[in-house]
Structure 1
Amino acid sequence: MSRLPGWALGGALSAAQLDGLQVALDALWSVRSGEVEPIDFEGFVARVRRGISSWDGGGLVGEAHRAAGEWLAGTAVDALVEPAHPVIGHGDPNLANYLWDGERVRIIDFEDAGGSDLAVELANLVEHLASRGTDWSAFLGRYPVDAERLADARRLFAAFWLTLIRPGGPSAHRNPPGTAERQAERFLGLLE
């Protein structure tokens, strides 16, 4: 990152940073997606289903797992596999991969990039743990996506994060106490 000007985005993004992020994402998403390998979204969905079904803990996190299992058993998530609005997906929307120089956002770290879907990419961005400091409501309104498709994609990524940060999860040790419970609340809120 020292070769590009700027610093990693993080925390609550300012209006200027959100505008810069939109310009950068619009540039990425304007590239024809049919010329790159698609991201294995079907494999991702299967991974989330396995992760949710493999845990039987209790408390609020357990309640969210049970609700996620019921939701994942439905057909809504399967509709996300086929892109409705094909775009090049970044694949790793951690805000640390978006550099802000005070005027412009530059996107880095494309190792997970591939063909994707606009609603899926937006959901991946706003549901990433690094994005929690920002209210994304107005930003999401800038994009012409089906609201229910976006809601389903957000539920899927929220369930994915639940599998990572739950007690004993592969990323649980990297997060402060209470993160799994906050994620459980977030997932359950997205079901409403």
Structure 2
Amino acid sequence: MTAAERWSTHVIEMRGDLVTKRYAKGDAHALLDREWRALTLLDAHAPGLAPVPVAVDRDADPPMVVMSRIPGVPLRGSPVDGARTAAMAKTLDALYGAVPGERLARVPVRPGHWAGLAVRLRDWHGRGPGPAAGDAVRAALDEGMAWLDRPGRAAGPGTSGPPVFGPGDGNLANYLWDGTTSRVGVVDFEDSGRSDRPFELAEITEHVSGWIDGGFDAASFLDCFELTADEWSRLRECRRLLALTWTFILSFDDPERPRNPPGTAARQAERLRALLG
């Protein structure tokens, strides 16, 4: 099993220099359309950061995209040293600013941005946490929801600076380190769209892949970016929102068929409470 297959939720086929991705779950056509739009935009405005789009077939069963295969190994699953951290930040800095403003204005806001995510969290809270939630997880979720329900939280905090193109997925498996050229390429754009830097950076720092295996220094990663005071303020709030999201997600883990090591939800609850301060 390749690294891409290990962490992918879709069907990935690699043949020579080409990769075929079949969207077998969720709203397949919406996922495909976002991925194809991202690949074509980045190929036009930031070639080399992402796979080159080759072909798309919305009528296939399941629908699929064919793209070039970019070199490298995923950052997930091994320590992310200083060179890899700096290369990842350099790639993201270029990616965020790649799409011209007038074109970016026509790109829909990425799924799971602040307002939509807040609605989803309130729905989850109404249904209650999952079977992996012990007392510590439930307490952290209650504390997080009390924070979210403060006045003004629905629309999100502060100013976010200029819009950016966001990959929409913070999984370190989507960032490929090429030891030959010391570059990091990006794959998986099915949740991509218009966003802002603080939200996208929070998406990465709070993703479970960044801490469950150890070795990713979130503080050093964030120090690679020149953020304004307003962006730092918004980043803090976005990290809280994403940490709350992951606490819910990990609480839903099935104890009979766990996707994560025992105690992961409890560890995430500790992270959330630390961020809430």
Question: What TM-score, normalized by structure 2, do the two folds share?
Answer: 0.63
Give the match for residue 121 of structure 2.
Answer: 48
2:168 maps to 1:91: yes
Deviations 1:172-191, CA, capped at 9 Å, x for gaps: 72011100100110000001
Instruction: Give 1:111 deviation, angstroms.
Output: 1.3
SS in 1 for 2:156: helix
One-letter code aligned to 2:109? P
Deviations 1:111-153, CA, capped at 9 Å, x for gaps: 1110001000000000000011212112212321432211110
Distance 1:54 1:190 in 2: 24
- Quick check: which one's helix share is greater? 1
2:255 maps to 1:178: no
Instruction: Give 1:80 deviation, angstroms.
Output: 4.5
2:147 maps to 1:71: yes
Structure 1 unmatched runs, 5+: none
SS in 1 for 2:185: strand
Give the match for residue 157 of structure 1.
Answer: 242
Distance 1:84 1:45 in 2: 21
Give the match for residue 19 of structure 1.
Answer: 86
- Give yes or no for contact 1:17–1:105 (8 Å, CA) kept in 2: yes
SS in 1 for 2:168: coil
Structure 2 unmatched runs, 5+: 5-13, 15-68
Equivalent in 177, 194, 198 of residue 100 of structure 1: 177
One-letter code aligned to 2:223? G
- Give yes or no for contact 1:8–1:98 (8 Å, CA) kept in 2: yes
- Quick check: which one's strand share is greater? 2
4+ long deviations beyond 6 Å: none
Distance 2:72 2:206 in 1: 24
Q: RMSD of aligned C-alpha atoms? A: 2.1
Instruction: Give 1:44 deviation, angstroms.
Output: 1.9
Give the match for residue 24 of structure 2.
Answer: none
- Give yes or no for contact 1:76–1:152 (8 Å, CA) kept in 2: no
Question: Whose radius of gyration is greater, 1 or 2?
Answer: 2
Instruction: Give 1:35 deviation, angstroms.
Output: 3.8
- Give yes or no for contact 2:239–2:275 (8 Å, CA) kept in 1: yes
2:100 maps to 1:36: no
SS in 2 for 1:159: helix
SS in 2 for 1:99: strand
Question: What TM-score, normalized by structure 1, do the two folds share?
Answer: 0.90
Distance 1:34 1:83 in 2: 15
SS in 2 for 1:105: strand
Distance 1:149 1:21 in 2: 21
Distance 1:79 1:159 in 2: 14
Distance 1:51 1:92 in 2: 20
Give the match for residue 4 of structure 1.
Answer: 70
- Give yes or no for contact 1:77–1:156 (8 Å, CA) kept in 2: no
SS in 1 for 2:105: helix
Give the match for residue 210 of structure 2.
Answer: 131
SS in 2 for 1:64: helix
Distance 2:125 2:272 in 1: 12
Distance 1:46 1:187, change over 3 A: same
Deviations 1:59-115, CA, capped at 9 Å, x for gaps: 101110110110110124522497433111111121111111111100011111100
